[in-house]
Amino acid sequence: MFHQDNQFYIRYLMEKKLHVTIAYGAVLGEEWKRKAMKVMTVKAQVHIDITRVFNNALLQQTQSVDSHGEKTVAALYTQWYSEVLLRRVSAGNICFSNNQRAFVSLTAEGAIPFNAEEFSNINELRALAELIGPYDMKLLNETLMWHIASQVQELKYRWEEKKMFC
């Protein structure tokens, strides 16, 4: 039952990913809470520990793969933030705004609009942290830092190379 529900959320995220966006962590978190409330109403008729079953199902979604070897919600968010959002930052399409305390998009005229601030504001990042848990927030942080360090190394290399020719 919970594997099928988790697969619904995975398909939902994958569908969003094809459109170069992903469901907001806050929206998906609220959807899971609604599902939990529905399941809790059944608890009176079913004599199993619904809370434990639900927690185990959600705990699997904080790993990179679930018990069936499939990508989890946490893996998809980590992949999306490191591939889509970071790639746009690297390309100069997104910058950090101290006023908004979030990343904001610098959309060129005629380009498809993308609102980075909706995915990087403090409320959304809190919801994401609650959704994927501390281990995957650490994985997300390490993944982003690795990509950033690689780009800094590339810039350093190119700077040194340019200095040799000047």
Mean pLDDT confidence for 151-164: 88
Mean pLDDT confidence for 136-158: 88
Contact by Cβ (8 Å): 27, 82: no
Contact by Cβ (8 Å): 71, 65: yes
Kindly report the three-state secondary structure assignment for every residue of 94-148: EEEECCCCEEEECCCCCCCCCCHHHHHCHHHHHHHHHHHHHHHHHHHHHHHHHHH
Residue 8 has pLDDT above 60, yes or no: no
Q: What is the pLDDT of residues 63-112, one digit of tens each?
A: 777 777 888 877 888 888 888 888 888 888 888 888 888 888 887 777 67
The sign one gets for the Cα dihedral 14, 15, 21, 23 is negative
Contact by Cβ (8 Å): 76, 83: no
pTM for the whole structure: 0.64
Q: What is the pLDDT of residues 24-75, one digit of tens each?
A: 777 777 877 787 777 777 776 777 777 777 777 666 666 777 777 888 877 8
pLDDT of residue 131: 80
